[in-house]
Structure 1
Amino acid sequence: MPSFDPSRMFRKLAYNNALANHRLLAACSALKPGEFEATRTNFFPSIKSTLNHILTVDWFYVDGLEDGTLGLRAFGIEEPFDDLRSLSAEQAKVDQRLVGVCETLTPERLVSIVEIQREGRIQRERMEDVLSHLFQHQTHHRGQVHAMLSGSSVAPPQLDEFIVDDDARFRGSEIAALGWSEERLMR
């Protein structure tokens, strides 16, 4: 019987995050001119604003998880990308960095303390808690973009087919596009 590895779920969530972003951003690439920046009802006023927010928050937290020094400069420009192509490329990069962080996790590392730069203070949290918060944040805002797509010319894509083995039949093209294998995702 295999032993329990608490790091496995975080690896799977990192791959899930990258796959869901890949699928969502591909759907957004089919938007008609003006729909990406169109004002919509949501926490952020547009698909563009929401996707930029996801990206800058990812930069902030992934840098902290990597013991980096970017800190609050991640938010220096509220919407760093006006076009979806550039934003998608940067999102893919930070998604790969997060996968890299999660690929190196051990039970000991999960309980290590991550230092996160805040305005005038350093926040100290267990790595597993920071990761949980980050995955929740990403899912929350991807759901908002998904809802905004409902009011556009593009049908919202399915975003929850990436955790269980049985869903492999639904993700083959994304796995191939990212250069991954099912074996890599399911270990």
Structure 2
Amino acid sequence: MSWLEQYHALARYNRWMNDKIFGLVGKLDDVERKRDRGAFFKSIHGTLNHILLGDRRWMGRFTGDAERFAPRDASGRVVEVTSMAHELYADFDDLARERARTDADILAWVHQVDERALLGTLIFKPAGAVKAHSIPLWWAVGHFFNHQTHHRGQVTTLLSQMGVDPGVTDLVAMQTIEANAT
């Protein structure tokens, strides 16, 4: 299995889990979604915003198209982000729409990137950093998918604490479902 095959699977997993989580979270009222539950980004809504913000920052770096993936508000206006806890979308429907759009962009990107590019170096300057970072692209892409999974795990924990069963969330479960569907 190559990195590309693994990243293709992780991009599908990202979409599968986001569809599952957004379906569950969409059944909650806004008060429950935004209740401070003591998570890194306080609430379920805050954590989902953070994942989207991080994904867009990384996609801007990966594609070199920072404008396309710039943080925007619901009206489409680029906003200045001063914290990774910045709320891009206060409205859940806007957040869900932009999550789905970004997931489609992620899938498209992983299907056009090649092994040679993954062996290259990604140079980027994180917000607030004094100097640029330089890391292998394959490492950055691995971090990208790990970051999503880490914070979605927090959301599934918060849902479980509320009595909402997120069901099976394992990567291998998605692979089994895909294999049985063919």
TM-score tier by shorter-chain length is: 0.7 to 0.9
Amino acid at match of 1:151: Q
| From 36, 46, 49, the counterpart of 1:49 | 46
Give the number of aligned pairs: 169
Q: 1:163 to 1:120 in 2, by over 3 A?
A: farther
Counterpart pick for 2:137 among 114, 120, 127: 127
Note the alpha carbon deviations across 1:119-173, whole angstroms, 9 max, x for none: 3332222111111001110000000000111232532243225666432378x6x
Structure 1, unaligned runs of 5 or more: 173-181, 183-187
RCO higher in structure (CA 8 A, sep ≥6): 1
Residue 92 of structure 1 aligns to a residue whose secondary structure is helix
Take 1:48 and 1:27, find their aligned partners in 2: how far apart are those partners?
Answer: 12
Normalized against structure 2, the TM-score is what?
Answer: 0.81
Matched, 1:107 2:104: no
The superposition leaves residues 9-30 of structure 1 with CA deviations (integer Å, 9 ceiling, x where unpaired) of 1111111111111111111001
Percent same amino acid at aligned positions? 24
Q: TM-score scaled by structure 1?
A: 0.79
Give the match for residue 23 of structure 1: 20
1-structure distance, mates of 2:38, 2:174:
33
Where has structure 1 moved over 3 Å in runs of 4 or more? 70-75, 161-165
Q: CA RMSD in A?
A: 2.5
CA distance in 2, matches of 1:154, 1:21: 15
CA distance in 2, matches of 1:61, 1:71: 12
Provide the residue aligned with 1:89 in structure 2.
97
Does residue 165 of structure 2 align to residue 155 of structure 1?
yes
More moved, 139-148 vs 27-36 = 27-36
Give the Cα–Cα distance (whole angstroms) in 2 for the partners of residues 68 and 143 of structure 1. 29
Unaligned runs of 5+ in 2: 72-79
- Displacement of 1:34: 1.1
- Decide whether aligned partners of structure 1 residues 79 and 134 sit closer, same or farther in structure 2, where only a CA change above 3 A counts: same
Letter in 2 for 1:27: L
Residue 117 of structure 1 and its aligned partner are, at CA, apart by 2.6
SS of corresponding position for 1:125: strand
Quick one: structure 1 residues 147 and 87, their matched pair in 2 at CA, closer, same or farther if it must change by over 3 Å?
Answer: same
* Cα gap change, 1:5 to 1:72, in 2 (>3 Å): closer
Give the Cα separation in 2 of the matches to 1:58 and 1:44: 15
Whole-Å separation in 1 of the counterparts to 2:6 and 2:115 = 11
> What letter corresponds to residue 136 of structure 1 in structure 2?
N
CA deviation after TM superposition for structure 1 residue 105, in Å: 2.5
Q: Secondary structure at the match of 2:125?
A: strand
